[in-house]
Amino acid sequence: QVQLVESGGGSVQSGGSLRLSCAASGYTWSTRHCMGWFRQAPGKEREGVASITSYYYAIHADAVKGRFTISRDNAKNSLYLQMNSLKPEDTAMYYCAAAPFSVGCPLTPSRYNWWGQGIQVTVSS
């Protein structure tokens, strides 16, 4: 299996920044896996924020494009999300996820097999 552990969440004022990290481990973990960040606000469906392939090709959802940047360090089995210019509508539980394929890396939650426990990000106005 694959274990994913997020860190770095918290509370920040509008316009502020946060950096999320996700550490991956486990018997079936591979640096070839797609990785992504997803979020879920109360009463809303889980949505894709950004994803990245094993060769560092990244895509970002329109809602965060230009403000958030996904990155990964395969040598450290880690995934990151730099969040700048945060808005109150970014408030959500953020999840790290991984999928057992290495191309495409869609922003569709159902395509991902392994999930972290989630970490709260709260942006106040």
Q: pLDDT at residue 66 above 90?
A: yes
Q: Tens digit of pLDDT for each residue in 70-115?
A: 999 999 999 999 999 999 999 999 999 999 988 889 999 999 999 9
Q: Residue 31: how many CB atoms within 10 A of its CB?
A: 15
Q: pLDDT at residue 23 above 90?
A: yes
Helix, strand, coil percent values for the chain (each to nearest 5): 5, 50, 45
Q: Tens digit of pLDDT for each residue in 34-46?
A: 999 999 999 999 9
Q: pLDDT at residue 53 above 90?
A: yes
pLDDT of residue 32: 87
Contact 70, 79 (CB under 8 A): yes
